[in-house]
Amino acid sequence: MQFMLLFSRQGKLRLQKWYVPLSDKERKKISRDLVQTILARKPKMCSFLEWRDLKIVYKRYASLYFCCAVEDQDNELITLEIIHRYVELLDKYFGSVCELDIIFNFEKAYFILDEFLLGGEAQETSKKNVLKAIEQADLLQEVYELVL
Amino acid sequence: MPAVSKGDGMRGLAVFISDIRNCKSKEAEIKRINKELANIRSKFKGDKALDGYSKKKYVCKLLFIFLLGHDIDFGHMEAVNLLSSNKYTEKQIGYLFISVLVNSNSELIRLINNAIKNDLSSRNPTFMCLALHCIANVGSREMAEAFAGEIPRILVAGDTMDSVKQSAALCLLRLYKASPDLVLMGEWTSRVVHLLNDQHMGVVTAAISLITCLSSKNPDEFKTCVSLAVSRLSRIVSSASTDLQDYTYYFVPAPWLSCKLLRLLQCYPPPEDGAVKGRLVECLETILNKAQEPPKSKKVQHSNAKNAILFEAISLIIHYDSEPNLLVRACNQLGQFLQHRETNLRYLALESMCTLASSEFSHEAVKTHIETVINALKTERDVSVRQRAADLLYAMCDRSNAKQIVAEMLSYLETADYSIREEMVLKVAILAEKYAVDYSWYVDTILNLIRIAGDYVSEEVWYRVIQIVINRDDVQGYAAKTVFEALQAPACHENMVKVGGYILGEFGNLIAGDPRSSPLVQFNLLHSKFHLCSVPTRALLLSAYIKFINLFPETKATIQEVLRSDSQIRNSDVELQQRAVEYLKLSSIASTDVLATVLEEMPPFPERESSILAKLKKKKGPGAVSVELEDGKERGECVNFNPKPQRTSTPSPSADLLGLRSTAPASGATPSAGSLLVDVFSEAGPSATSAGVNDDGFLRFVCKNNGVLFENQLLQIGIKSEYRQNLGRMYLFYGNKTSVQFVSFNTTLNVQTKTVEPLVEGGAQVQQVINIECLTDFIDAPLLNIKFRYGGALQNISLKLPVTINKFFQPTEMAAADFFQRWKQLSQPQQEAQKIFKASHGMDTEVLKAKLLGLGTALLENVDPNPENYVCAGVIQTKAQQVGCLLRLEPNAQAQMYRLTLRSSKDTVSQRVCDLLAEQF
């Protein structure tokens, strides 16, 4: 996977994760162009599209679009389920996740993503294991606070 | 503001985010952000040391501001400080900031690397994972230098926690992708491969991505992974849907791992070990069988995960391309998906079938779905799906269905989305050419293409139709008739005018017998479009007009009138003006014979790969059109049209109809060195009449037969010659460049010639033919003396006629063994002549080859063991004897030197050919 973007129906970027080295300028341009392209598509259209030399896989959950750019040999359907699993993880962690949770706790959204995907590849696909790792970290915080 | 559910809240951050969200305008937002930046800056610079919490909060705010799209140029140091905090969340925010906003400041990188090093050696798995995530997120070269040695050790160490192994594997993958030279697996290879056997599914899932990437780069070192991957896959595929606990996803066991295993196997050919292969085939069959079973859940996640594995399995089957049974089953399965209600599945089925179409085992099976695919092209509502359908039609096209597919694609073009039109046009053009059985169909198709989607018809496409019409005389009359009809339309595309202008200019005579398309009607039709066209098209039309004057003398007056009008002859565009002036002049001063020679029909184009195909390849990247590349033998008609303008004096990009190109066989008196038209009217000729023998031109004709032998302000002498065996015929053209008569024009040759006309009118040209027979080998060339009176002055010119011994070469093809045998036979010292000399021109391969071919010998490929060298062979035919001749030219590009060696059965021949040729490079 080359990058993952989360954006709202209004085109506001909520999360961006880049797995290939790109300059800040290129990132901005890609996000802008791609957000526009996807927002212009109609609801019943297919979740995949060719975009430049990448395959784009996207899905909308309520007011948020989740969008991944993968390489030519990557599997579209499994990427779609990567998105779904990430949504499930957020949902479980926040308890019925909504866009606001991701806005106000953006750092958590990044931490959860890092536990699930690393370097653009699935690191741990078990929902239990990912959440365990995140909860452990939260616990660690509390322990430290107790000690101090 | 929602309550923060877990972990620690940062109230200040939440307030700030709320403020930003409440901003009514972009300006208000920027104002709020600037206020916050000023606040943070003052806190960071203040005297009071900040506690960890505040530092974390401010760093987090900076991160938020950056993610909103604003620039951040401070705070890096504070973030680095957080890395060494002993509070987990402070460390975590520090790492997050560094991952997102990495700065190439080397001082900072050193500090960051230090912090990472400490965490990696902390033996606290949570800290180790944080550090590894940071390396994987940044992935810079500096990090690879610092950690590429350490991470493989962590990855394979027996006491490393599973979660750390997972991070280490993917961290290493990222470093390998960025700096493959720094990541050396070496001794770890086998232990990394064996991670495929790991108990923990998460470890296997992470490690396999690394193994796949390494295998694709070094397949041999990692090939033991094949059997491990097959047995792992087999265990997953045969497991019940609940066996794998949390790795089962909506009743599908380990879909991510299954896909990755199937993907890894695509780095390798089918397993050689029969048992492994049997097991794998069994897996693939099971996957195909499962697709037919009723779904275990109605959830789309279930079917997506299941089908993800299915598509990956089909990719592997296509990759192997060796199991006809599986290929046909795959094709049938995809056929079902073509009509599935899920758009996603239809899209993927079309895409996957494209690759199946290129397999000989499944090509026929794919073709049976043609109606469904055509229907998809017509009815799919999503342009990306229609695009896939068009791609598939292109891939499944062959001689049997070409007419149907091309017709469907053409009709689709009328309504096609703008984004895909150009590619569609190229595809139609390629299919029409590739599968053209009768060329009238081909011509119709291309003209339709121009009519329907003229704007998207690139130059390559219309060049191509012209190349094909020129090369096939059976279609020329039809083409002329069809373009004539197409041009009748009140509004026709400029590309149609271009094709029409070219084809009528070349072949208008074929339809001129019909009074409805008489020469004048044709001309008026073309000229009615003239004013609507762009400059390059107008230039092309002007050339068509001069051809009309040649084809139909009755149009001369009308056309001259047009050329003479101010809008042409005084046109502000230099190219148009020049053409108008030159063509007007040419039509009025050249005799009909000269005109006929200059404007002779275009010679056939050399056969080469289609330039359209090259263009499509460029558009789609390599691989996309590999199907066409493989059966190049079918494309007998493929030729290449050189679109470069040949007129050296005009850099305009217009395609030149006269085709004055050096690569094409010379037509008429058009000298290959440049354009005759330019030369004839050139003002800047060499000055003054020369006395004595002029030998400049002589050496230029060793490797070519046609061109301008001599030129001064008064006279131009062109040459056209041909040789067969020991006979030759040379045409000399004496052109009077002035407007005054040459009187007492007289040429003498030290051999016998027919005399020429004693008068050469101003602007006119006379021709002289010389028949040549080579009696024996010779060194001195015949001398030509030209005398004439211009005004009152007597002019005297002496020239060496460019007749050289090499003109009587017959090329001889031979294999390497023959060549060396003969080379050895000619080993006496007097049989060899050798010269070592400095290059006086560029050492371009193509130019060298052209010169060696021009010499008259056969250029032998794959004979000299050094591919840089050239060897040639030929036999010189004289009446007295035949002299076999072998040649070897060794360029030394570095020294800009050549060594030329000639061996022949006659010493004088070796020496002479060597001397002549040494002057050519």
Crossing angle between the packed helical segments A106-116 and A76-94, to the nearest 10 degrees: 130
Q: What is the pLDDT of residue B610?
A: 63
Confidence of residue A77 (pLDDT cuts 50, 70, 90): very high
Q: Which of A 95-114 lie inside 8 A of B, CB atoms?
A: 95, 100-101, 103-108, 110-111, 114
Q: What is the pLDDT of residue B805?
A: 87
Q: Which of B126, B301, B381 has its CB closest to that of A137?
A: B126
% chain B with pLDDT above 90: 24
Q: What per-residue confidence (pLDDT) applies to B770?
A: 80
- ipTM of the assembly? 0.94
| pLDDT value for B750 | 62
Least-confidence region, from B144-158, B205-219, B272-286, B729-743: B729-743
What does the alpha-carbon distance between residue B814 and residue B859 come to, in Å, rounded to a whole number? 10
Q: Cα angle at A72 between A69 and A76, to 5 degrees?
A: 60
**Residue of B18, B21, B58, B67 best to disrupt the A interface, most CBs of A under 10 A:** B67
Is there a contact between B560 and B577 (Cβ–Cβ < 8 Å)? Answer: no
Kindly state whether A128 is in contact with chain B, defined as any CB-CB distance less than 8 angstroms.
Answer: yes
A61 at the B interface (CB within 8 A)? no
What letter represents residue B479's amino acid? A
B249/A44 CB distance under 8 A: no
Q: How far is A70 from chain B (nearest CA, A)?
A: 14
Rounded mean pLDDT of B747-774? 73
Q: Looking at the complex, does the CB of residue B633 fall below 8 Å from at least one CB of chain A? A: no
Q: Which residue would you say has higher pLDDT here, B633 or B27? A: B27
Banded pLDDT at B103 (limits 50, 70, 90): low
pLDDT number for residue B755: 64
CB-closest option in A120, A128, A140 to B126: A140
Comparing B319-328, B480-489, B568-577, B647-656, the range with the smallest average pLDDT is B647-656
Lowest mean pLDDT among B110-114, B638-642, B690-694: B638-642
B854 in a known ligand binding site? no
- Between residues 24 and 43 of chain A, which touch chain B (CB distance below 8 Å)? 28, 41-42
Dist CA B419 CA A9 (whole Å): 24
CA distance A19 to chain B (A): 7
Q: What chain A residue is nearest to B343 in terms of C-alpha separation?
A: A46
Selecting from B21, B256, B621 the residue whose C-beta is nearest the C-beta of A122 gives B256
Residue labelled with tokens 């899920």: B342
Rounded to 10 deg, the angle between the B300-320 and B274-292 helix axes is: 140
Least confident of A92-101, B203-212, B655-664, B886-895: B655-664
* Partner-chain contact A144 B93, CB within 8 Å: no
Q: Out of B23-32, B219-228, B598-607, B901-910, which region has the weakest mean confidence (pLDDT)? A: B598-607
Burial class (CB in 10 A: 0-12, 13-18, 19+), B897: middle
Rounded distance between C-alpha atoms, residue B76 and residue B323, angstroms: 58
pLDDT, average across residues B199-224 = 92
Beta strands A48-51 and B793-800 are unpaired
Report how far apart the first and last C-alpha atoms of chain B are (Å, whole number): 83
Residue B689 has pLDDT above 90, yes or no: no
Residue B395: strand pairing partners: none
Query: How do residues A112-148 score in pLDDT, each as one tens digit?
Result: 999 999 999 999 999 999 998 888 877 776 665 555 4
pLDDT 10s digits, B387-418? 899 999 999 998 889 899 999 999 888 888 78
Is the per-residue pLDDT at B759 higher than 60? yes
Residues 296-315 of B with CB under 8 A from A: 301, 304-305, 307-308, 311-312
- pLDDT for the residue B665: 34
Look at residue B317 in the predicted model and tell me its pLDDT. 93
Residue B3's pLDDT is 40
Q: Which residues of B touch A100 (CB under 8 A)?
A: 2
A81: which chain B residues are within 8 Å (Cβ-Cβ)? Answer: 249, 255-256, 301, 304-305, 308
Residue of B nearest to A132 (CA): B163
Sequence-separated (6 or more) residues with CB below 8 Å from residue B495? B450, B454, B457, B462
DSSP B179: -
For residue B909, is pLDDT > 90? no
- Is B912 one of the annotated binding-site residues? no
CB-side neighbour CA atoms (13 Å) of B644:
9
Chain B residue closest in CA terms to A41: B382
Binning pLDDT at 50, 70 and 90, where does residue B764 land? confident
**Is A118 in contact with B206 (Cβ distance < 8 A)?**
yes
pLDDT confidence bin for B6, thresholds 50/70/90: very low
Average pLDDT over every residue of B85-109 = 81
Decide the pairing of beta strands B793-800 and B693-694: parallel
The per-residue b/e assignment along B384-415, b for 16 or more CB within 10 angstroms, e otherwise, is bbbbbbbbbbbbbbbeebbbebbebbbebbee
**Residue B142 or residue B262, greater confidence:** B262
- Is residue B625's pLDDT more than 50? no
A139 contact B CB<8A: no
Tokens of B172: 């290493």
Tell me what pLDDT residue B241 has: 67
Q: What is the DSSP string of A17-83?
A: EE-S---HHHHHHHHHHHHHHHHTS-TTS-SEEEETTEEEEEEEETTEEEEEEE-TTS-HHHHHHHH
Number of helices followed by number of strands (H, E) in chain A:
5, 7
Averaging pLDDT over each range in A86-90, B456-460, B588-592, B855-859, which range is the top one? A86-90
Q: What is residue B262's predicted lDDT score, i.e. its pLDDT? A: 96
Q: Return the residue in B63, B87, B208, B619 with the most chain A beta carbons within 10 A, the one to mutate for interface testing.
A: B87
Tell me: pLDDT of B617 over 70. no
What integer pLDDT is reported at residue B683 of this predicted model? 33
Among B364, B359, B305, smallest CA distance to B335 is for B364
Which residue has tokens 């050239």? B870
| pLDDT of the residue at B465 | 87
pLDDT at B694: 60
Mean pLDDT of chain B: 82
Task: Measure CB to CB from residue B308 to each of A46, A77, A125 and give the nearest one.
Answer: A77
Beta bridge partners of B746: B787
Look-up: residue for tokens 């279930």?
B302
Q: Which residue has the higher pLDDT, B748 or B22?
A: B22
Residue of B864 and B510 predicted with greater confidence: B510
Beta-carbon contacts of B899 under 8 Å, excluding residues fewer than 6 positions away, are B834, B835, B836, B889, B890, B892
For B267-287, how does the pLDDT look when each residue is reduced to its tens digit (9 = 90+)? 999 999 999 999 999 999 999
What's the angle, vertex CA B9, arms to CA B7 and CA B13, rounded to 5?
140
Dist. CA B130–CA A136, nearest whole Å: 13
- Is A88 an 8 Å CB contact of chain B? no
Nearest CA distance, B47 vs chain A (angstrom): 25
Helix (H/G/I), strand (E/B), else coil: B303: helix
Residue B286 has a pLDDT of 94
Rg (CA), chain B: 39
Interatomic CA distance for residues A101 and A90, integer angstroms? 9
pLDDT digits (tens, 9 = 90+) for B491-540: 888 889 999 999 999 899 899 888 888 898 999 999 999 988 999 999 99
**Which pLDDT score, from 0 to 100, does residue B11 have?**
82
Q: How far is CA B904 from CA A79, B851, B898, in A?
A: 71, 20, 20
CA B700 to CA B851: how far, in whole Å?
11
pLDDT of residue B215: 92
Segment B372-395 shows an average pLDDT of 90
Taking an 8 Å cut-off on Cβ atoms, the answer to whether A124 and B2 are in contact is: no
Higher pLDDT pick, B637 / B590? B590
In angstroms, the CA A119 to CA A1 distance is: 8
What does B25-38 look like in DSSP terms, one character per residue? SHHHHHHHHHHHHH
Task: Please give the structure tokens belonging to residue B105.
Answer: 């400041």
- Confidence at residue B695, expressed as pLDDT on a 0 to 100 scale: 63
Q: How large a percentage of chain B has pLDDT more than 70?
A: 88
Alpha carbon distance B881, B527 (integer Å): 60
SS3 for B894-911 is CCCEEEEEEEECCHHHHH
| Chain A residue numbers touching B305 (CB-CB < 8 A) | 77-78, 81
Max distance between CA atoms of chain A, in angstroms, equals 55
- DSSP state at residue B760: B
